[in-house]
Amino acid sequence: MEINHRTVETNGIRMHLAEAGAGPLVLLCHGFPESWYSWRHQLTALAQAGYHAVAPDMRGYGQTDRPEAIDKYSLLHLVGDVVDLVDVLGESTAVVTGHDWGAPVAWHAALLRPDVFRGVIGLSVPYRPRGAVRPTTVMPQTPDALFYQLYFQEPGVAEAELERDPRDAMARILVGAGGDSMHGGVGLSPMVPRHGGGFVDRSSPQPALPPWLTEADLAFYAAEFARTGFRGGLNWYRNIDRNWELLAAFKGAKVTVPALFVAGDRDLVTASTLGTVVPHLRKSIMLPGCGHWTQQERPAEVNAAMLDFLKTLGDAPR
């Protein structure tokens, strides 16, 4: 099944789309640091099953616009992008799917616009309701290290580190958070050394690629970030506290549409309380031996889970 590409205007930005198939609309929202390409296996599988699968380069990534102002990357902007995209694609409803940072976009799209999104699929990151305090105030830090999301807050710091060698950075991030590395205890650490350290540890040789990540895959990611830089994706993290403020009116709100959650058991996630805030969670699947890059590490199992869930929504692919 051929993957086609085009650019549309949505929510005031130009957004690049990769799409395949025809039928009920399924949107696929990627996370950090990725692109539409992280859904390459799902685009064809969904299309072959009779769905219109659309994977955008999200705001700040790839061939999509990268607004300069940091406050243009709030969750309300990101949700607005996909809400308007449904209309631009000529549909009134869709199922929204998200992985990593794309998962909060998907969960909040379903939370804020259940009239548009009749189902939601979250990969790797569960829905987390608004907490009682500003998120950055409770992120871990010690005299010697700080949580990576705190490290990302200062504009220019993480950009300088990651952009020094995009291929090396992407190899270490993708391999480091994969199931093989996490199992061996050499995975990407959530804590960043305060003095002389960075998000990725370059003290050892570049890691060998696992079977799910080819040299061609790595080359695609490296070329994209060499061209665009990492600032767009990092700006999502710089809105964490702003998102908390903007979503104050939705404190205690639950995601009420049918939902599916899929994660790897070697990822640093938990979904133990997901059913209490997502009352129509159809299934929560933990993939044995899988790390953070769920749909890339285990495409066959993720595809099967997604298609099974879509069938429960009563879709009749056309």
Quote the CA–CA distance of 238 and 258 in Å, as a whole number.
Answer: 30
Which homologous superfamily does the CATH classification assign to the domain defined by 4-312? Alpha/Beta hydrolase fold, catalytic domain (3.40.50.1820)
Check pLDDT > 70 for residue 150: yes
Quote the CA–CA distance of 115 and 92 in Å, as a whole number.
Answer: 9
- In the residue annotation, 16 being an active-site residue is answered as no
Query: Per-residue confidence at 186, pLDDT binned at 50, 70, 90?
Result: low
Residue 189 has a pLDDT of 85
Q: What is the pLDDT of residues 263-316, one digit of tens each?
A: 999 997 776 678 899 999 999 999 999 999 999 999 999 999 999 999 999 865
Quote the CA–CA distance of 255 and 177 in Å, as a whole number.
Answer: 28
Q: Is 255 helix (H, G, I), strand (E, B) or coil?
A: coil
DSSP state letters, 96-123: EEEETTHHHHHHHHHHH-TTTEEEEEEE
Residues above pLDDT 90, as percent of the chain: 89
Q: Are strands 4-10 and 117-123 parallel, antiparallel or unpaired?
A: unpaired
Query: Per-residue confidence at 183, pLDDT binned at 50, 70, 90?
Result: low
Query: Per-residue confidence at 317, pLDDT binned at 50, 70, 90?
Result: low
- In the residue annotation, 100 being an active-site residue is answered as yes
Query: Residue 251, Cβ neighbours under 10 Å: how many?
Result: 11
In this structure, are residues 8 and 85 in contact, taking their beta carbons and an 8 Å threshold? Answer: yes
Query: Residue 295, Cβ neighbours under 10 Å: how many?
Result: 25
Query: Per-residue confidence at 185, pLDDT binned at 50, 70, 90?
Result: low
Burial of residue 130 (CB within 10 Å: 0-12, 13-18, 19+) is middle
Q: What is the pLDDT of residues 19-54, one digit of tens each?
A: 999 999 999 999 999 999 999 999 999 999 999 999
In this structure, are residues 75 and 244 in contact, taking their beta carbons and an 8 Å threshold? Answer: no
Residue 275 has a pLDDT of 84
Which tokens go with 22? Answer: 């025809």
In this structure, are residues 103 and 78 in contact, taking their beta carbons and an 8 Å threshold? Answer: no
Helix (H) or strand (E) holding 247: none
Q: What is the pLDDT of residues 219-270, one digit of tens each?
A: 999 999 999 999 999 999 999 999 999 999 999 999 999 999 999 999 977 7
Quote the CA–CA distance of 107 and 97 in Å, as a whole number.
Answer: 8
Residue 72 has a pLDDT of 98
Residue 205 has a pLDDT of 87
Residues above pLDDT 70, as percent of the chain: 96
Residue 193 has a pLDDT of 93
Q: How far is CA 89 from CA 26, 51, 63, 247, in A?
A: 11, 13, 18, 27
Query: Residue 317, Cβ neighbours under 10 Å: how many?
Result: 17
Residue 41 has a pLDDT of 98
Torsion over CA: 276, 135, 198, 214 (sign): positive
From the list 100, 180, 267, 315, the catalytic residue is 100
Q: Where are the domains of the chain?
A: 4-312
pTM of structure: 0.96
Three-state SS for 181-241 is HHHCCCCCCCEEECCCCCCCCCCCCCCCCCCCCCHHHHHHHHHHHHHHCCHHHHHHHCCHH
Which tokens go with 211? Answer: 């079977």
Helix (H) or strand (E) holding 87: helix 75-88
Q: What is the pLDDT of residues 207-221, one digit of tens each?
A: 899 999 999 999 999
Check pLDDT > 90 for residue 1: no
Residues near 311 by Cβ (< 8 Å), separated by ≥ 6? none
From the list 30, 77, 108, 292, the catalytic residue is 292
Residue 283 has a pLDDT of 95
Check pLDDT > 90 for residue 187: no
